């Protein structure tokens, strides 16, 4: 039986110019590594101001090849620094995303953080991300973006009134394989969510329990229910 490839991460500081990403990707491919996540941005302050940061995670079956990969990346003329790190999945783990009104978001986060603490102290890695927002379009854009967030495992919508474009965005997030919990609220969002919960603290607890690999709660077994 074949073993799972080892997940590794690398952070590269390089010149901000055309062709750098191509050169780096070519070296990675030459080492038979498969890039599974990548992020690139330009520093606008600090000692690397004006330079580019490239962070990517990759799978590579041969662990002994990692050092040679680092050496070859350092040999690229435009690359200034290369460092290996643990992937974010090992550090921050799965992500619970909470979006909605400030007061409700805070209460959902209270339940989620307290429940995540119980699991993380036993070796799991579950992180909680929140953003309080108002306005249908703003919320719809944020909900749609959840499907593009690395390691996003579940979404909780916390508010008093959500519908219209937000409901359509909820459908797209669910189609991407990310379950959605909604607080009991006015609007059509509860009709599109996997689970509706009246108590915001309990909603946060449910979200973390679903993400956990050790909890017995499974949202798929109560889909369509209201608590």
Alpha-helical regions (H) of 32-152: 66-74, 88-91, 102-120, 136-146
Query: What tokens does 25 get?
Result: 């990707």
User: What per-residue confidence (pLDDT) applies to 126?
Assistant: 95
CA distance 143 to 165: 10
CA distance 100 to 106: 9
Query: What tokens does 189 get?
Result: 């969002």
User: What per-residue confidence (pLDDT) applies to 169?
Assistant: 97
User: What per-residue confidence (pLDDT) applies to 62?
Assistant: 62
Q: What is the pLDDT of residues 7-42, one digit of tens each?
A: 889 999 999 999 999 999 999 999 888 899 999 999
CB 192 within 8 A of CB 179: no
The average confidence (pLDDT) of the chain is 91
- Average pLDDT on 128-151 reads 94
Q: Residue 2 above 90 pLDDT?
A: no
């Amino acid at each position: 039986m074949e073993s799972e490839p080892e997940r590794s991460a690398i952070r590269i500081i390089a010149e901000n110019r055309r062709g750098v990403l191509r050169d780096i990707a070519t070296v990675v491919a030459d080492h038979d590594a498969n890039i599974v996540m990548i992020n690139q941005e330009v520093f606008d302050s600090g000692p690397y101001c004006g330079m580019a940061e490239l962070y990517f995670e990759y799978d590579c079956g041969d662990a002994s090849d990692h050092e040679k990969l680092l050496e070859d990346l350092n040999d690229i003329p435009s690359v200034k620094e290369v460092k290996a790190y643990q992937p974010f999945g090992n550090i921050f783990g799965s992500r619970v995303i909470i979006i909605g009104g400030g007061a409700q978001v805070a209460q959902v986060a209270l339940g989620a953080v307290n429940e995540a603490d119980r699991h993380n102290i036993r070796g799991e890695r579950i992180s909680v991300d929140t953003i309080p927002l108002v306005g249908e379009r703003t919320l719809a854009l944020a909900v749609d973006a959840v499907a593009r967030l690395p390691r996003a495992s579940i979404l909780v919508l916390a508010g008093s009134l959500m519908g219209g474009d937000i409901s359509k965005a909820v459908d797209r997030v669910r189609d991407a394989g990310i379950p959605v919990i909604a607080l009991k609220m006015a609007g059509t969002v509860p009709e599109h969510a996997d689970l509706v919960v009246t108590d915001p603290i309990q909603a946060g607890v449910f979200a973390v329990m679903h993400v956990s690999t050790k909890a017995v709660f499974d949202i798929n077994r109560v889909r369509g229910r209201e608590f």
